[in-house]
Amino acid sequence: MRILGIDPGSNATGYGIVERQPGGIVHVAHGTIRTPSGQSLELRLASLHCELNAAVREYAPERAVVERVFVALNVHSALVLGQARGAILAAIGAAGVPVDELSPGEIKKAVTGSGAAAKVQVQDMVMRLLSLSEPPPQDAADALAAALCRAQMGPLADLDILARSRRGRARSRRRLDPRTSP
Amino acid sequence: MRILGIDPGSNATGYGIVERQPGGIVHVAHGTIRTPSGQSLELRLASLHCELNAAVREYAPERAVVERVFVALNVHSALVLGQARGAILAAIGAAGVPVDELSPGEIKKAVTGSGAAAKVQVQDMVMRLLSLSEPPPQDAADALAAALCRAQMGPLADLDILARSRRGRARSRRRLDPRTSP
């Protein structure tokens, strides 16, 4: 199973693709999408949407994952980050790829063993876990870390997410009733 | 000149198109895009992006306008609204249509004469100004009001916006120097 991790940002958005194989998790690709800060907002968002679209077509992931937003943002940052996430999620949704949200703590813990790890520790562990020759740039490392965290969640999480995206709100009821759970 | 006004929202996004003609401003179309709340976020944003895209292709506006975001929002609302704006602006930017932001007060004042007008006054004035047989639904009325406000700004504003979208940050410097102003 291929997983696309994304670290959204208004100036730089990192992405990383890993594949879960029977023998382990392997690296497929990673990169950073930069939008020129001199351009108007609508052109930057259109370019972000278009490049994500191209990455989804090229690597054909079956799942995507983004960091859940940390609520301690201020209102302006939340709006700016929201706009980048909107352009990104619209591109992934259009390709029919279900998106999961994981907290920054969950991702760091899965990759480094500590939910409070520093950025550089995440970069270093991503490099080691995926046998890369050098640490990926920070945005791409965060995206690969999210993809790695999702990849190690195993087949049960896949079923859960599939059920959630297909059945919407019916899910929470069904989970309480073992007779109807998937 | 055709102008597309948009009132972005995560559940319902209003849009309205007006055309500035030599004799005045006329109504072209309006509507509301609803995204089913039971669907996942990425599917809702993809559908919003896709429907805006279709409206831009159908009506071929030369300008678009959205309300500037009111900073008194809370962080969660700013993120949710930002995501809708991101999907919308990416669609408009991809069509090469420049987007202007106007404050809610400017829009209300242009349409009703008061920056603090109630929603129902805006609906009523939009209906009268565009000679509609009934008041448009609230989201569409707000979108038409934004388009009307932008339409009455006249040809000088068009130049300004053109200059801004082409020259980016150079604009503020140039405006201070009459020798180089467009």
**Interval A14-38: pLDDT, tens:** 999 999 998 899 999 999 999 888 8
Q: Which residue has the tokens 């009268």?
A: B128
The average pLDDT across A46-57 equals 95
Residue B163: what pLDDT? 44
End-to-end CA distance of chain B: 20
Q: Which of residues 105-164 of A touch B (CB under 8 A)?
A: 164
Question: What pLDDT, on the 0 to 100 scale, is given for residue B109?
Answer: 94
Of the candidates B38, B45, B75, the beta carbon closest to that of A86 is on: B45
Angstroms from B63 CA to nearest CA on chain A: 12
Distance separating alpha carbons of residues A136 and B110, to the nearest angstrom: 51
pLDDT of residue A74: 87
Of A70, A58, A65, the closest CA to residue A98 belongs to A65
User: Chain A to chain B, count of Cβ pairs less than 8 Å apart?
Assistant: 145
Percent helix, strand and coil across chain A, each to the nearest 5? 50, 20, 30
Q: Residue B82: helix, strand or coil by DSSP?
A: helix
pTM for the model: 0.82
Give the Å distances, CA to CA, from B28 to A45, A81, B1, B31.
27, 33, 11, 11
**CA distance to partner chain A, nearest, from residue B151 (Å):** 20
Nearest residue to B71 (alpha-carbon basis) of A84, A80, A88: A80
pLDDT of residue A156: 59
How many H helices and E strands in chain A?
A: 7, 5
Query: In sequence order, what E strands does A2-56 have?
Result: 2-7, 12-21, 24-34
**Cβ of residue B62 closer than 8 Å to a chain A Cβ:** no
The DSSP code sequence of A60-122 is --SEEEEEPPPTTS-HHHHHHHHHHHHHHHHHHHHTT--EEEE-HHHHHHHHHS-TT--HHHH
Fold annotation for B2-155: Nucleotidyltransferase; domain 5 (3.30.420)
* End-to-end Cα distance, chain A: 20
Question: Is A54 in the B-facing interface, judged by CB distances under 8 Å?
Answer: no
ipTM for the whole predicted complex goes beyond 0.85: no
Cβ count within 10 A of residue A175: 14
**Which residue, chain included where needed, has tokens 């920070």?**
A138
pLDDT band at B23 (very low <50, low <70, confident <90, very high): confident
Write out chain B residues lying below 8 Å of A74, CB-based. Answer: 75
Nearest C-alpha in B relative to A166:
B39
User: Between residues 11 and 30 of chain B, which touch chain A (CB distance below 8 Å)?
Assistant: none
Give the A window 67-106 contacts with B, CB below 8 Å: 69, 71, 73-76, 78-94, 97-99
Q: Contact B82/A81, CB-based, under 8 Å?
A: yes
Say yes or no for a CB contact (<8 Å) between A90 and B48.
yes
Helix %, strand %, coil % for chain B, to 5? Answer: 50, 20, 30
> Which chain A residues are Cβ-neighbours of B41 within 8 angstroms?
89, 93, 99
